[in-house]
Copies of this chain bind each other. A is one copy, B any other.
Amino acid sequence: MTTTRVRVRYAETDAQGVAYHAHYLVWMEIGRTRLLEQLGFPYPRLEREGVLFSVVEARCRYLGAARYDDEVEVETRVSRARSRTVAFDYRMRIGESVVATGETTLVALDRERAPRRVPPDLARALAEAAGD
């Protein structure tokens, strides 16, 4: 499990005075980026090596509101690792208050965006992380 901190940008607020709901998906992406990095597989390097990940499903439940300059802690976990897909789940907190939970499923693609297998060493690292 990885915890990442994101401070809500003014650009991310909307006319209701809270963070616009679509930005939570961006924060989740930052969360899984840091998790991959901590596993030793920084995503920029994966892309250079021809391993792209593409979101095939995303889901978010909004339990509270995040406001400008709030610090959101994004807890990210590998929930499932398969040969061609990986799923993450997320809990976003401001202090002790959970403002959102989410899940995403990603599929591995090659440079031509055709489905491919997750490289074995990454697959192994994800499978182990899924136990956390």
Contacts and interface: CB of A to CB of B under 8 A. Distances in A.
- A55, A65, A113: which has the most chain B beta carbons within 10 Å? A55
Chain A contact residues: helix, strand, loop or mixed:
mixed
A58 interface: yes
Q: How large is the interface on A (under 10, 10 to 19, 20 to 34, 35 or more residues)?
A: 35 or more
A62 B52 contact: no
A114 to B, nearest CB: 12
A26 B15 contact: no
Contacts of A44: 67-69
Please tell me how many copies of the chain the complex holds: 4
Given A22-B23, A56-B61, A58-B59, A11 B11 contact: no
A68 B11 CA distance: 15
Contacts of A30: 9
A83 B9 CA distance: 26
Given A22-B22, A42-B69, A43-B69, A54 B16 contact: yes
Interface of A: 9-11, 13-18, 20-23, 25-26, 29-30, 33, 42-44, 47, 52, 54-63, 65, 67-69, 113
